[in-house]
């Protein structure tokens, strides 16, 4: 697995953990539960979610999407 893909997987899992579960993350960012499941399956946090997750849970945009927000 490539490093960026590992980082994205870790980021979605970090966000889910910080929120207290997939349903709570979905509620917090204004999405439905299947959207969280899809992001988890794809190991990719959609760009539209990044700033909300960063604001609510303090997970850096660089961690969430290093392909878009490099160090």
Domain holding 52: CATH number?
A: 1.10.260
Sign of the Cα torsion 38, 19, 47, 5 reads negative
Domains contained in the chain, number: 1
Assess if residue 44 is contained within a domain. yes
Res. 3: pLDDT tops 70: no
Assess if residue 18 is contained within a domain. yes
Assess if residue 71 is contained within a domain. no
Q: Which domain holds residue 50?
A: 3-64
Res. 7: pLDDT tops 70: no
Cα distance between residue 13 and residue 66, in whole Å: 15
Assess if residue 59 is contained within a domain. yes
Mean of the per-residue pLDDT values of the chain: 90
Assess if residue 33 is contained within a domain. yes
Assess if residue 69 is contained within a domain. no
Assess if residue 60 is contained within a domain. yes
Q: What is the pLDDT of residues 18-53, one digit of tens each?
A: 999 999 999 999 999 999 999 999 999 999 999 999
Sign of the Cα torsion 11, 35, 1, 50 reads negative
């Amino acid at each position: 697995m490539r490093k960026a893909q590992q980082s994205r997987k870790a980021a979605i899992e970090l966000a889910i953990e910080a929120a207290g579960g997939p349903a709570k993350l979905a509620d917090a960012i204004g999405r439905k539960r299947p959207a969280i499941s899809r992001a988890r399956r794809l190991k990719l946090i959609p760009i539209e979610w990044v700033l909300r997750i960063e604001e609510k849970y303090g997970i850096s945009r660089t961690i969430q999407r290093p392909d878009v927000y490099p160090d």
